[in-house]
Structure 1
Amino acid sequence: MPLGRAPVHALSRRLGGLALAAAAAAGAAASAATGLPPEVAHALQRARVPADAVSVVVQEAGSGAPVLQLNAREAVNPASLTKLLTTFAAFDLLGPAWTWRTGVWLDGSVRDGVLDGALVIRASGDPTLTIERVWLLLERVRQLGVREIRGDIVTDRSAFAEPQGTPADFDGEWLRPYNVQPDALLLNYKAVTYRFVPDAARGVARVAAEPALDGLAVDPEVPLADGPCGDWRAALKASLDDPQRARFAGSFAAGCGERAWPVAYADPASYNARLLRALWRAGGGRLGGGVRDGAAPARAPTFEFESPPLAAVVREINKHSNNVMAQQLFLTLAVQPGQPATPAAARDVLMRWAADRFGEPEGVFRLDNGSGLSRETRLTAQSLARLLQIAWSSAVMSELMSSLPASGLDGTLKRSRTAPGRAHLKTGSLRDVAAVAGYVLGASGRRYVLVCVVQHPNAGAARPAIDALVDWVLGDAARRD
């Protein structure tokens, strides 16, 4: 052994021990100063997030006394925790069994399989009209004996006002599916999923678009490359801003296996027409006219196409933090006969409901939209905790709690390392925000309301601190009498 090596190692160990001791002392001091559990304070220090950037409320469900509280009255951006407000209000105002109804008219006579007139579809904001469900709607038309429509397919989208902004307004990422704007007739989220399937024998990856929109050509294959998967989307060198053609000038790594890439369609205004034409013709139908907007007849529809119940939709919204569905629900709350729903009207409905239901004070509560995809919305952790307490004692408690991601099991908490199924928490993430809110089952069997919002440039690095807080609450019930 070279001379001096052992002393250097010994010195390193001593210095490392001193550093750990110093960190522990600093963490203990931070814990004592803030009241946060030591493991949470340590994790915040490692993330370089000060305690004044964290808002926390922990209460036993059904009790107003806080177990832990920090910066609870500070107005913060709740990110996707806003969906708790939107979905609980929808349950409260509409009921968990409520459904959207899309009216369909055969506006003309039907003879020998020919509709001598128009097929009219009046939208109501249904967020569940995926490819499969649109196919079923058109199958209902075929079951009525229609094989050819000599007139147009007319879509009445008047339930919602036309959006004033663009999909790029929030973050400039206009091809991201989460930025798709609301539409009374929202078909398949106005998105296209490109699928890439390696064909090693031919040295290519086959490319397919789902759905196959009318008038959209797609490069049928892309060269297959060796090596690890890596950033496979960048390697494709995709050009997806042309509504007529999707191009892939790069390559696809064989190590990726089969992959799917959902993208918001480049021309959302033409999406419904392209999809309806494609699906009608794919089912063997003929269309003499085009697809255009118009008004539905005043008489009762030929049939109504009903959505799944609201409870199922809310589950999808909260489990997977679906922004587009949340926006559809948000606007639905403001729908009035003969009056298109607007974001301003929906904000008024939700803010009045919040003031009546849990006394949210003006000046602290600022609402931008129903999804939380916003830099302007402000709530307090105390208000979110109060909302969860009111929901706990409400008739829709079971529906709301079961809609939240379950730790380690599903939704946005599927990869959580917290005890499986013991926490039901809505998550929230923005560039400078990391948050959770919901219910945690302690070891003693007590259920707790937990709200934690980190608002700081290093918020993403504070996720371990949030996990440590959840773990502390899981064990806290066992330490309290």
Structure 2
Amino acid sequence: MLRPFVALLAALLLAGLPLKLMAAGFDHVARLADRGFAIGAQAQMLDSGKVLGEIDPERRLSPASVSKLYLAAAALERWGPQHRFTTRLVSSGTLDGQGVLQGDLVLEGGGDPALTSEDLWRLIQGLRQQGVTAVNGDVIVSQWRFGPVECITTDRCDSRWRSSNSYDALLSSAGINYGNWCASVLPGARVGAPARVMSCDILTPLVEMENRVTTVATGQNTRLEAERVTRDDVDRLVLGGQIALNSNQHPLYRSSSDPGRQTGLTLLALLEQAGVEVGGGHATSTTPPPSSSRELAAVESETLQTLLLSTLNHSNNFMADMLSLDLVEVPRASLVQAGRTLERFAEALPGHGPLTLLSGSGLTTENRTSARGVNKLLEAMYRRAALFPSFVAGMQTPANGPMRFIRRGSEVFQHHVMIKTGTLNQPFAVRSIGGYFRTRSGRWGSFSVLINGNHSTPYLSWSEVLDPLAQDLTAMILDN
């Protein structure tokens, strides 16, 4: 009597229908389907290949910032953990006997995703060591490798004119400070006085500041907001809110409208502060420096493994997309080209299957991959002994990761899981997770859970995802 039922069940399983019966191992996560969310999930042991649980594992869904795992893997595969990016000051001019550089000074962007004002100071120090005391020419920022990069998401496109965020920074191979302006807000001298506002990295602010922040009594809450607006190619930070009299300084970061121009302004100001007089102004260029140029100073980035630690741990979109653009072998790279480079890398992984990556950051919901695909990526990196330590180091353990929202679930989940999360809220909710786990006996496993909403699904908090996931993974870890 059981044979017809068994045959029917087998047929349904082979057909790949998303039955709840197929959610074995992800019983708690599967309940989100009842609320209209699309789910793809898979967990496996890496030594045996045994699948511990899955839900529609080949369904292609938006991974949000889990996309950064593809970028990290491709970058490590291409360059290795010790690779560094070089930014140079060059010139085709000559240095006369008075220390005057007769010609333009060119900053050649090397695609360093973590170039800062401090690095510009180091370049200027190198310039002074060459005997340069003045520049009889312009300061030119060469972003010939890439930049300005065409935007492909609403947030970045809108940030050309205004921004209330730091994550939507535009991209340039010569960008500094993650494409952000920084204002430091301090309390005024007394209650009711305007707050004091300064630049975080230079004596004289390079961006106009409209200060609407007031000082309130000690013990009151500090509440600050900021928006960057741009008119006639001039950036202005509009600051509002209140700051308590006893408060320490509060930095506020907002993306600039043009990272190449931001670098030029900053370099010009720092040269003047260092006593290097510049006869001309500043400009940006999309062409390489003249072939006759010689190097006057250079600064190297941190190693790739250190850059990836920041990129993954803090889910830094600017760094991820910069590194993706660095992977493109032709100049004037676009995000679409960077995405295709990542796609080719992923599709070459054994068993991965097709995917769509428009960027390495995952800022767009148009990125698509499957839970099985993410697991194939994780498995491939696990088997690359020379790269795996640098790859897994960028993931967070819930017990002590920098993002507090993941500190949930059982003690087993807290201490035996290493994860990268992805979050988007517009145009629909995305909550995604990929990573590794270790059993009590030291065996390694990998897992991926992709959850996508739609225009009619409710808001999905991370607790509604992490709590059931922690229950499911805890059971898998203890059973293996």
TM-score calculated relative to the size of structure 1: 0.82
Measured after TM superposition, the shift of residue 98 of structure 1 is 1.4
Q: 1:406 to 1:251 in 2, by over 3 A?
A: same
Out of 273, 280, 291, the residue aligned to residue 298 of structure 1 is 291
Alignment of 1:210-289 (within 5 A): 210-212=200-202, 215-219=206-210, 222-226=213-217, 232-234=223-225, 240-241=229-230, 243=234, 245-248=236-239, 251-254=242-245, 258-268=249-259, 270-289=261-280
1:348 partnered with 2:333: no
Q: After alignment, is 282-291 or 167-176 more displaced?
A: 167-176
The structural deviation recorded for 1:232 is: 1.8
Q: Please show how residues 124-163 of structure 1 align to structure 2 within 5 Å.
A: 124-160=110-146, 162-163=148-149
The answer to whether 1:464 aligns with 2:464 is yes
Does 1:184 pair with 2:173? Answer: yes
The aligned counterpart of 1:378 is 368
Structure 1 residue corresponding to 2:383, chosen from 384, 393, 404: 393
Q: 1:93 is paired with a residue of what secondary structure?
A: helix
**Number of aligned residue pairs:** 441
Report how far residue 99 of structure 1 moved: 1.5
Task: State the 1:210 CA deviation.
Answer: 2.0
Q: Which range is displaced more, 456-465 or 162-171?
A: 162-171
**Shift in Å at residue 60 of structure 1?**
1.4
Which structure is higher in helix share?
1
Distance change >3 Å, CA 273–CA 302, structure 1 → 2: closer
Is the partner of 1:274 in helix, strand or coil? helix
Matched letter for residue 157 of structure 1: Q
2:479 equivalent in structure 1: 479
The aligned residue for residue 3 of structure 2 is none
User: Residue 77 of structure 1 aligns with which residue?
Assistant: 62
Aligned to 2:358: 368
The match for 2:48 is 63
What is the match of residue 94 of structure 2? Answer: 108
Q: Distance in 1 between matches of 2:283 and 2:241?
A: 37
Question: How far is the alpha carbon of 1:434 from its aligned partner?
Answer: 0.6
The 2-side partners of 1:32 and 1:359 are apart by 25
Measured in 1, the distance between the counterparts of 2:365 and 2:222 equals 29
Aligned to 2:342, the other structure's residue is in SS state helix
Distance in 1, Cα, partners of 2:178 & 2:368: 27
Deviations 1:383-432 (A, max 9, x none): 00111011101131111001112223233357513545532211100011
- Cα distance between partner residues in 1 of 2:200 and 2:335: 30
1:303-314 alignment to 2 at 5 Å?
A: 303-314=297-308
Name the residue aligned to 1:325: 319
AA matched with 1:439: Y
Instruction: Name the counterpart of 1:7.
Output: none
> Which has the higher Rg, Structure 1 or Structure 2?
1
AA matched with 1:288: G
AA of the residue aligned to 2:290: P
Contact 1:55 1:454 in 2 (8 A): yes
CA distance in 2, matches of 1:239, 1:126: 24
Residue pair 1:166, 1:181 contacting (<8 A) in 2 also: no
| Alignment-mate amino acid for residue 200 of structure 2 | E
Partner of 2:435: 438
Root-mean-square deviation (CA, aligned residues, Å) is 3.0
User: Is 1:193–1:261's contact at 8 Å kept on the other side of the alignment?
Assistant: yes
Following superposition, the deviation at residue 346 of structure 1 comes to: 2.1
Task: Check whether the contact 1:102–1:305 (CA below 8 A) recurs between aligned residues.
Answer: yes
Q: 1:54 aligns with which of 19, 25, 39?
A: 39
Q: Distance in 2 between matches of 1:459 and 1:33?
A: 26
Structure 2: which amino acid aligns with 1:341? A
Report the CA distance between 1:282 and its aligned residue.
2.0
CA deviation string 1:182-229 (max 9, x = no partner): 211111122112222224645433222223466534356832135976
In structure 2, relative to structure 1, the CA distance for the partners of 1:413 and 1:244 (3 Å cut) is closer
2:74 and 2:94 mapped to 1: Cα distance? Answer: 41
Q: 2-side partners of 1:37 and 1:168: how far apart?
A: 34
Structure 1: distance between partners of 2:198 and 2:143: 30
* 8 Å contact from structure 1 (residues 216, 244) kept in 2: yes
TM-score normalized by structure 2?
0.82
Q: Offset of 1:41 from its aligned partner?
A: 5.4
Which region of structure 1 is more displaced relative to structure 2, 431-440 or 412-421? 412-421
> d(CA) in 2 for partners of 1:249 and 1:434?
32
Describe the SS at the equivalent of 2:305.
helix
Matching residue's letter, 2:338: A
**How far did 1:150 drift?**
1.5
2:406–2:466 Cα contact (<8 Å) kept: no
Q: Deviations over 1:337-391 (max 9, x none)?
A: xx322333323322222222234434xx112111100121110000001110111
1:53, distance to aligned residue in structure 2 (A) = 1.9
- Distance in 2 between residues matched to 1:259 and 1:344, nearest whole Å: 37
Larger mean CA deviation between 389-398 and 119-128 belongs to 119-128
Name which of structure 1's ranges 241-250 and 402-411 shifts more when overlaid on structure 2: 241-250
Amino acid at match of 1:275: T
Q: Report if the CA contact (8 A) 2:43-2:445 is conserved.
A: yes
CA displacement, residues 441-476 of structure 1 (integer Å, 9 cap, x when unaligned): 233322220211111134632533334323542453
